Amino acid sequence: MRDLDQPGRSAAIAENGMVATSHPAGSLAALDMLRSGGNAVDAALAAVAVLGVVESAMTGVGGDCFVLYSPKRGKPIALNGSGRAPAKAEVSWFQEQGISEIGQESPHSVTVPGAVDAWCQLQEDYGTRSLSEILAPAIDLAENGYRIMDRTAFDHANAVRRMKSDQYLAERFLPGGKPMPIGTKHTQPQMADTLRHIARDGRAGFYEGSVMKDILSRLKELGGLHEADDFAAQHCEYINPIHAPFRDHEIFECPPNGQGLGALMIMRVLDRYDLGNGYSYADVIHLIAEATKMAYAARDALFCDPKYVDVPVDYLLSDERAEWASDRIDLKRASQFSSWNSFAAEHKDTTYLCVVDREGNAISFINSVFKSFGSCIMAPESGVILHNRGHSFRLEPDHPNRIEPGKRPMHTIIPAMAMKNGRAVMPFGVMGGHYQSTGHATLLSNMFDFGMDPQQANEAPRHFCFDGQLALEPRIPEDVAQDLAARGHNVTRTKTPHGGCQAIYIDDDRGILIGGSDPRKDGMAIGY
């Protein structure tokens, strides 16, 4: 039990079903779907559509998604809903144009959005409600309005410069040229119409017809290489998840082109240390930081679309590699930082949600436009904000993650599922761009090593070793920071909320669901 004299939330507890999302409107939409008889897939899709309206800086129909779905708590099914580069996107073309890097706000950063295609496929294969029913709450909020909450206002205020780069985006989200204050009522009528197209026509409502033409026209106006055929060719894929042991659980992730492999690599190293027994707080942070350095170096060198370049998943998850990595960790000294040639040093937020229904179906779902407001390119008639996942591509001809026609870039967004004794026990995810792999390992360590419930593990202070710095949230004590600095870490303090998280633990012994939602965002876990 948490200390009731200290700030914080109690974990949500329920019996029949539970949802956890990053915004109350998303949680309410999902809960309403569950209570009216919909299943976990119906609820998750209703929630993600709502989040695309009320958290437009983070997610939407113009983004990508990844899903892990465990029917009746069995082995998870993975769905890759990430988008592909246009057929004309050749490294040689960029070289001829003198382009050495794909900018965050460039039309070349826009791969074909994959989310809607994946939503429709998931609904067709596993949903029980129609798209019209599923999308109704999002359409209502877009049409009739929603109120700007604290975290949304914060995100908008920090993205003013980027929003002003696109006149249509600025007109919709910067009324009078200023970010909307907390409590402002906001509408998105164009998005309501776009969602109606999808509700009526399914996948074709986005990848064909007026919505597609609007998106394509805007991209071509800005110099993009996209064609209608690129949108027609977009398709999600069911893939085999990857997994590795951690403590007495088996952790499932989506394989590359996502970075879930990196999370498992960190866990494989940490599994060689009994962190809850005899290690100081500084020791734990240090060990996670050192495991992170090696995992992320491999990520930036090797992770890519496996349809184009083989990723050595088996070796990277092997006992041999875990032993090699742990042998190189000095508990008293930080290893020397070596440049990862990372495509970005920012670790931005996204939206993650999870649902468990009364039948035991569990879903772990992440949807994102990557950077805040993605590419900051809005299609004017449809209101679609386009992501910028193509920014992750490299333009070095010999790099595995180089841009190529139809290729998917390395992705940061990763849903996860913890299994025990062959049954799903916790869908979970940690938002925050690059932070996510480290975040997965840290969350599980908080729970399995230190006995925290999902809410306590969410609320615990965060740390992230990335791009030559060990960033600590302000709540980590100064003596711990000094200890880490003395070991050779370049210690800094975070100035913005560090990621976000949702998780639902299925407690079979007590027959209950225990949910947590990150206080760094405005969301909630709730059940019935």
For residue 418, which of 284, 526, 508, 510 has the smallest C-alpha distance?
Answer: 508
The string of pLDDT tens digits covering residues 232-241 is 999 999 999 9
Q: For the chain, how are helix, strand and coil distributed in percent, rounded to 5? A: 40, 20, 40
pLDDT, mean of residues 366-388? 96
Q: 249-298, pLDDT tens digit by residue?
A: 999 999 999 999 999 999 999 999 999 999 999 999 999 999 999 999 99
Strand extents, DSSP E, 309-421: 351-356, 362-368, 377-379, 384-386, 416-420
- The structure tokens listed for 514 are 């225990």
Q: Tell me the average pLDDT across 490-508.
A: 92
The whole-number average pLDDT for the span 86-99 is: 96
Q: Residue 337 has what pLDDT?
A: 64
Q: Is 508 exposed, middle or buried (0-12, 13-18, 19+ CB in 10 A)?
A: exposed
CA dist 132 and 427 (Å) reads 26
329 phi/psi in degrees, rounded to 5: -90, 125
Which residues, including other chains, have CB under 8 Å from residue 210's CB and lie 6 or more apart? 197, 381, 382
Structure-block tokens of residue 429 = 């995810």
User: What is the tens place of the pLDDT at every residue in 93-147?
Assistant: 999 999 999 999 999 999 999 999 999 999 999 999 999 999 999 999 999 999 9
Q: Check whether 4 has a pLDDT greater than 80.
A: no
Question: Domain residue spans in the chain?
Answer: 23-60+81-234+372-390, 239-346+414-527
Question: How sure is the predictor about 496, in pLDDT bands with cuts at 50, 70 and 90?
Answer: confident
Tokens 């042998």 belong to 327
Whether the CB-CB separation of 160 and 206 falls below 8 Å is answered with no
Query: What is the CATH architecture assignment of 239-346+414-527?
Result: 4-Layer Sandwich (3.60)
**Residue 291 to residue 507: CA distance in whole angstroms:** 30
Burial class (CB in 10 A: 0-12, 13-18, 19+), 241: buried
Q: Which residues contact 372 (CB under 8 A, 6 or more apart)?
A: 57, 58, 155, 158, 159, 162, 348, 349
DSSP reduced 3-state for 276: coil
- What is the pLDDT at residue 345? 44
CA 277 to chain centre: 31
The average confidence (pLDDT) of the chain is 95
Distances (CA, A) of 272 to 265, 325, 329: 12, 10, 12
Q: Could you give the percent of the chain with pLDDT greater than 70? A: 97
> What does the alpha-carbon distance between residue 281 and residue 461 come to, in Å, rounded to a whole number?
11
Mean pLDDT across the stretch 465-486?
A: 95
Nearest to 498 by CA among 452, 442, 453: 442
Q: What is residue 226's predicted lDDT score, i.e. its pLDDT?
A: 98
pLDDT in tens, 15-41: 999 999 999 999 999 999 999 999 999
Strand order across the beta sheet in which 351-356 lies:
237-239, 77-81, 64-70, 362-368, 351-356, 18-21, 524-527
Q: Which amino acid type is present at position 489? A: H
Q: How confident is the model at residue 339 (pLDDT cuts 50, 70, 90)?
A: low
Residue 512: in which H helix or E strand, if any? strand 512-517
From the list 27, 34, 26, 32, the residue with the least C-alpha distance to 51 is 26
C-alpha closest to that of 81 among 99, 93, 66, 96? 66
Give the separation between CA 213 and CA 483, rounded to whole angstroms. 57
pLDDT tens figures, 402-451: 999 999 999 999 999 999 999 999 999 998 889 999 999 999 999 999 99
Q: Which amino acid is at 77?
A: I
pLDDT band at residue 6 under the 50/70/90 scheme: confident
| E strand or H helix that includes residue 514 | strand 512-517
Which residues does residue 364 pair with via DSSP β-bridges, in sequence order? 68, 354
Handedness of CA 125, 128, 132, 136 (dihedral sign): negative
Q: Mean pLDDT, to the nearest integer, of 310-317? A: 97
Beta bridge partners of 217: none
Phi, psi angle pair for 462, to nearest 5°: -110, 155
pLDDT at 45: 98
